[in-house]
Structure formats: C-alpha cells, structure tokens
Amino acid sequence: MQQNPAQAMPTPTKSGTTSHQLRALLAMVGVALLLNYVETMIIPGVPVIQRDFSTTESLVSWVTSAFLIVGSAVSPLFGKLGDSYGKKRMFLAALVFYTAGVGVAGFSNSIYFLIAARAVQGIGFAIVPLALAIIAETFPKERIATAQGVVSATFAIGAALGLIIGSYVVQDLGWQWAFHSAFLLSLVLFAVVARFLPAGHPGTRLKVDYETVVLLMAGVSLLLLYLTEGPYVGWTDAYNLGALSLGAVLTAGFFFVESRKANPLIPLHLLKIRNVLVANMTGILSGMGMFMLFFAVVYYTELPFSGQFPNPGVPGLNLDVISAGLTIAPATILMLVGGPGLGRMTARSGPKPVMVLGALVAIAGFALFVFNRGTSTDVMVDTAVSLVGAVGIIIPIVNMVSVSLPIETVATGLGLNTMLRNIGGAIGPVVATTIMSTYYVTLSTPRGPMSIPTSSAYDYVFYVGMACMIAVVVFALATKNYTFRKDKQVPASVAS
C-alpha cells in the first residue's frame, strides 16, 4: 500500500520550519517577478518586431500566442510530473526550458525562429502551478493562503516593472535586449533556486499516462489556436473551424479515455469536489473578465482622445506606452499590500466571503470604467479597484484547489486550474475585440483612415466584464466554506 506523502515527510522543528518556508517563499517570489517582468517587457517590442521582420500583424501576434498556447497545454503535464517525481525537480526542468527559450529568442533572425523560441519558453510557463504547489507543500495549511497571496501579488509587481522598464529597453537598446536581459536574470534565478529551494517530497513515483496527456494538450492547443487566430483569419474560416472541431473532439476524447484509466492524469471524481469545481469555473470566468479589462484599457489609453476629432463619441487618452503602463502602477502597489492580507483573510474567514468580496470589488471597478474614465487619473483609480478585486478572487481559487485535493495530486490540479484560467484569459480579448470591431467609427488621420471603437464599445466591454464577475459571485456562493486555526487540519468537509 502506498504511503501518504504528507505522512512520509518528517515534521520539522519550529525554527527549521521558518527557515524552510522563507527560502521557498523567496525563491517563488523571484520566479513570479521574473516571469511577469519578462512577459510584459516584450509587449512594447511587438510593433518593432513586426517592422524589423516586415511581417503581418497576424503573424507577429504569435510572439505572444505561442507562449500562451504552449504554456497552457503543458501546465497539467508538468503538474503531474511534479506530483510523481518531485516538484523541485520539475520546477528546475521547466526553468531550463524557460531560460533556453529567452536565451535564443534574442538572436532570432526571422519571425519563425522567434515564434519557435517563444514556444520553447512557453514550456517554462509550467513553473507557475509548480510554484503554487511548492508553497502548498511547504507551508502549514493555515498559512498557505497568505504565502500564495504574496506570490500572486508579486506577479503584478513584475508585470508593472516589465511594462515600464521594457518600454525603455526597447526604445534605447532594441527588443533583442528584452530577451538578453531576461536570459541573464534566468541564469541567476536558476542558480538561486537550485541552491536554496528545499527539496520537498520526492513524489509518488506513479507512472504518467502520456496518452491522455497528449490528448489534452492537443485538444487545448487547437481550441486556443481557434481563439487566437479568429480575430485575424475570421471565425468562420474553414481551417480555423477545423482547428475548433478537432480540438473539441480531442478534448472530449481526453475525458472519455481518462475515465477508463487506472492511473489517470487526475482522477475525474476529484474534479467533482465542490470547491475544485467552483475554483475551475470561477477561474475561467475571472480570467475572461480581467483580460477583457486589460485589453480594453491598453487600447483605450493609447488611442487618440476625442478632442482631436469632431466626433464626440470617439474615446481615448492618447498616452504613450510608458505613460499607459504607469496607470497600473498604483494598482500593483495595492496588490502587493492586499495580496498577503487577503490570504490571511482567506485562512481566517474562509474562501467564500473573500471570493464574494473580491468579485464585488471587481464589479465596482468595471462600473467605474463605465462612468468615470475621462482622465488618466480616473483610469488609474478604476484599474486599482478592479485588480484588487481580481486578487481577491484568485487567492481563494488557488487555495481551494491546494487544500481540497489529496497532496499527491495538488500540482496536477493547480496545473489544470492554471490552464483553465488561461483559456478564460484567451477568450476575454476575443470578446473585447468582437465588441470593439462591431461598434466603431472610421476617421481620417495623418496616417490614413483609422477605425476606432466608440465610447459605447468600451461600455459594452465593461458590462460583459461585470456580467462575468456577477457569475463569479453566483459560483462563489456555492463554495463549501472552511477556516483554519493554528495547529488544526483541514476540515473533512472540504474534500467533498
């Protein structure tokens, strides 16, 4: 009979636990900073990359899409491998892929080479669910949410730094140095993690069923391909519809085959646990709503403002990339402060009230965007409210998966949840693009005719975002709440 991994781990001393946890947390904070710093650092360079390689907008979009699609597809696989062979080992393996990807990307001599490098880098995205799983394995139950709150807040700081610093790097040194600098930072981080991250549990050593993994990865990749290509080639394009159909068949095949495996990727009955189901559904909805917000705000802040044109229905703040990035700076500071606080609140009050509160705050943020977005200061306040609400949703979601699943499946469950949140994140910009391309005006500019979304288009985007958050509230109310007290275990009712 297999030994429970939680029981197999020795109980550390009080002082040893503090050092053990601190090293793990600092390592994960470093990873969170690096990943989002690098990914947002690339954004200002995309137009320059398109110009340098004389390519199309559709093709250059794969510089970001390749990372998202591959990263989403491999997250459950690396989570399963982490559960089976040790989370630190697979974390370092994912970091090797990430480092290799950024290392060669800066030397790309064609757009296709760069996209391939970004796909390799996408494999390294698996460090996200593995990082959260390492926190769940390292910290006592009552402190997991607080530690995960710190890591979640750090993601936002990395994103803000990357967008701002990336603008200067691309402008003064070239987009290649966005990757060169990331490569150097990745090497340093790898050495730090390898040296200081605690080894953790060696894993269950259960064999990974690659047949079901391939089905899931292929199915999800094709579904994301349809979503990312839709705005460029059309939603009814024959090849794109073929990708959608095949992706749906393969994904359905995954569940069919999975239900008949003795050692599935993740036992399907575990996905029916109420809190795991709630976490996955709210993950999709919150990802969709927040990425709609990001897309609309970036577009809105950088487009010409209405005073430049005779049509008063045309919105926009006409900010440069750096100024637009600075509008989210206060939000990241609030997230850094609020993340750990929301984590502590989750441990003390349970995930249900925190998730409801976060969704209500996010709804308020979307409402502010509808009625109060005339200046950069308004957008700054609106973004801060919305993103703090988003953190109030994400932290309970991650915690519910971490404590509701058996310890030997936590990394796999977090990998699947990460994948679903990314799918929601891919759907969000598609919905926003569809709305904005439906409600627009065509104006004459010095660079020629320009199609610009109307004010009503942005209103509809934010209304849909509010609807997503209202749905999150409904799902959150179905959560089976639990609380933690020091030296007490998870209530048995959580895992049901």
Query: Please, are residues 166 and 47 in contact by the beta-carbon 8 Å criterion?
Result: no
Residues 456 and 476: their CA atoms lie apart, in Å, by: 30
Give the residue-averaged pLDDT of 72-84.
86
User: What pLDDT, on a 0 to 100 scale, did the predictor assign at position 358?
Assistant: 93
Dihedral through CA 393, CA 396, CA 400, CA 401, nearest 10? Answer: 60
- Which pLDDT score is estimated for 351? 92
Mean pLDDT lowest among 39-53, 271-285, 302-316, 369-383: 302-316
- From CA 351, how far away is CA 33, in angstroms rounded? 25
Rounded to whole angstroms, the Cα distance separating 70 from 86 reads 22
Which residues lie closer than 8 Å to 112 by C-beta, 6 or more apart? none
> Where in the chain is CATH 1.20.1250.20?
19-208, 268-496
One-letter amino acid for residue 97 of the chain? F
- Integer CA distances (angstroms), 194 to 18, 79, 345, in order: 19, 19, 32
CA 461, 463, 466, 470 torsion: positive or negative?
A: negative
The per-residue pLDDT for range 327-371, each reduced to its tens digit, is 777 777 777 777 778 888 888 888 999 999 999 999 999 999 998
- 3-state SS of the chain is CCCCHHHHCCCCCHHHHHHHHHHHHHHHHHHHHHHHHHHHHHHHHHHHHHHHCCCCHHHHCHHHHHHHHHHHHHHHHHHHHHHHHCHHHHHHHHHHHHHHHHHHHCCCCCHHHHHHHHHHHHHHHHHHHHHHHHHHHHCCHHHHHHHHHHHHHHHHHHHHHHHHHHHHHHHHCCCHHHHHHHHHHHHHHHHHHHHHCCCCCCCCCCCCCHHHHHHHHHHHHHHHHHHHHHHHHCCCCHHHHHHHHHHHHHHHHHHHHHCCCCCCCCCHHHHCCHHHHHHHHHHHHHHHHHHHHHHHHHHHHHCCCHHHCCCCCCCCCCCCHHHHHHCCHHHHHHHHHHHHHHHHHHHHHCHHHHHHHHHHHHHHHHHHHHHCCCCHHHHHHHHHHHHHHHHHHHHHHHHHHHHHCCHHHHHHHHHHHHHHHHHHHHHHHHHHHHHHHHCEEEEEECCEEEEEECHHHHHHHHHHHHHHHHHHHHHHCCCCCCCCCCCCCCCHHHHC
Cβ-contact 321, 178 below 8 angstroms: no
Nearest-angstrom CA–CA distance, 9 and 40: 38
Instruction: Return the residue matching tokens 């699943």.
Output: 405
Q: What is the dotted CATH code of the domain comprising 268-496?
A: 1.20.1250.20
CATH topology classification for 19-208: Growth Hormone; Chain: A; (1.20.1250)
Q: What is the pLDDT of residue 325?
A: 66
Mean pLDDT of 468-487: 86
Tens digits of per-residue pLDDT, 376-423? 888 889 988 988 888 889 889 988 998 888 888 888 888 888 888 888
For residue 71, which of 81, 79, 59 has the smallest C-alpha distance? Answer: 79
pTM of the model: 0.80
The arithmetic mean of pLDDT across residues 71-88, rounded, is 86
Among 384, 429, 466, 379, which Cα is nearest to 43's? 429
Average pLDDT over residues 151-180: 74
Integer Cα distance of 276 and 271 in angstroms: 6
At 295, which amino acid appears?
Answer: F
Amino acid 473: pLDDT: 95
Instruction: Name beta bridge partners: 453.
Output: 440
pLDDT at 6: 40
Backbone φ and ψ of 200, nearest 5°: 70, -170
**Alpha-carbon gap, residue 466 to 456, rounded angstroms:** 15
pLDDT in tens, 415-452: 888 888 888 887 887 788 788 878 877 776 666 676 77
Length of the chain, in residues: 496
Does position 57 have pLDDT exceeding 80, yes or no?
no
- Distance, in Å, from the CA atom of 354 to the CA atom of 36, rounded to the nearest integer, reads 25
